[in-house]
Amino acid sequence: MTEHSTDGPLLGPAEIRELAERAGIRPTKTLGQNFVIDPNTIRRIVAAAPLSPEEHVLEVGPGLGSLTLGLLAASSSVTAVEIDPPLARQLPETVARFYPEAAPRLSVVEADAARVRELPRGTEPTALVANLPYNVAVPVLLHILETFPSVRHGLVMVQDEVADRLAAGPGSRVYGVPSVKASWYATVSKAGVIGKNVFWPAPKIASGLVRLDRREPPAGEELRVPTFAVVDAAFAQRRKTLRAALSGWAGSGARAEQVLRAAGVDPSERGEKLDVADFARIARADAAVPALGADAPSHAASRPGAAPARGELGPEEVTLREPGQRESSPDESTPGGSSQGERQ
């Protein structure tokens, strides 16, 4: 039975199953397809965002539209990025059926959220609210934060252990590449845990809510990719001292020590103790310390551990996995080549 929030309808289990059947989707744990079927969970996500009536919300991976309806009730408009053609085609029909007065305020972009670089003309989202596909949540999140600076805040649902990693601070045992790179763009905190039984089918582990509030980066944009290269190298061997972990990146252990000392960082420290501003100082110092020897690398992009062109993936990067399955590698694609393969 369709329920109503303060301003609009929300989908229940019967509607979700009927919409899945209409779209030709039979969710299975093997494929990682998990749909939110509890209206109270949607209310909780929307309330935790929080959204003002004039906000333009960007939603990634809307699936069958359970969260989309809640977002339309709480904001001025929603742009939903959906990679699966049947789901992208059905979403406007779902909104027109259950919330017809909100249908003109929905835009659907059929695209891969990990690669989308522009939205319909005039679209400048101010908030990101999404149930991110588990296996690609981190790269999608970083890509959105980089590509759409108009997004000032957000709330995303990810696998609970990755929510902990994204929100972790220096010194935490789960602090790593996702923690540092996300903190370049935003202040990140954990906003709650979502149980397994609000999904159909129920996953094997809980989900976590992550809140993001945009902040000024610790350095200029020209240092973002070099900084991310330092982060990748430092956490590729996280138990080693920075002098040892950065030796390949810097060209030698001796030069790594020079760069670290120039940045005011103890070479015997480990990367897990540094915050994003520390890593940015190392990247800045690297440009000022001469290479040792004619064959030494001349810039971070040519070194082992350097970031890709847009600096978003690294050796310790967490790409989320289907509940109960092994963690995938950063370059591993979802079933069928989709980078948004898991639906909620």
Note the pLDDT tens digit of each residue in 209-219.
999 999 999 99
Kindly tell me the burial class for residue 29, based on how many C-beta atoms sit within 10 Å of its own C-beta (0-12, 13-18, 19 or more): middle
Nearest to 203 by CA among 21, 325, 327: 325
Type of residue numbered 191: A
Whether pLDDT at 17 is above 50: yes
CA distances 279 to 45, 228, 252, Å, are 33, 8, 18
Q: What is the pLDDT of residues 113-126, one digit of tens each?
A: 999 999 997 789 99
Enumerate residues 6+ apart whose C-beta is below 8 A from 207.
Answer: 131, 157, 158, 159, 160, 163, 193, 194
User: Predicted confidence band at 309 (pLDDT cuts at 50, 70, 90)?
Assistant: very low
Rounded (10°) angle between helices 160-167 and 137-147:
40
Whether pLDDT at 316 is above 70: no
User: Predicted confidence band at 304 (pLDDT cuts at 50, 70, 90)?
Assistant: very low
Whether pLDDT at 302 is above 70: no
Residue entry with tokens 């949607």: 42
- Asked if 330 and 246 count as a contact pair (C-beta separation under 8 A), the reply is no
Averaged confidence pLDDT in the chain = 86
Give me the percent of the chain exceeding a pLDDT of 70: 81
Nearest to 71 by CA among 101, 94, 46: 46
Whether pLDDT at 103 is above 50: yes
pTM of the model: 0.84
- DSSP per-residue string spanning 176-232: SHHHHHHHHHEEEEEEEEE-GGGEESPPSS-EEEEEEEE---SS-GGGHHHHHHHHH
Whether pLDDT at 96 is above 70: yes
Whether pLDDT at 167 is above 50: yes
Q: What is the pLDDT of residues 55-75, one digit of tens each?
A: 999 999 999 999 999 999 999
Nearest to 76 by CA among 27, 123, 131: 123
Residue entry with tokens 């939603």: 59
What distance in Å separates the CA atoms of residue 140 and residue 276, rounded to the nearest whole number? 20
- Asked if 259 and 291 count as a contact pair (C-beta separation under 8 A), the reply is no
Query: What's the maximum distance between 2 C-alpha atoms anywhere in the chain?
Result: 72
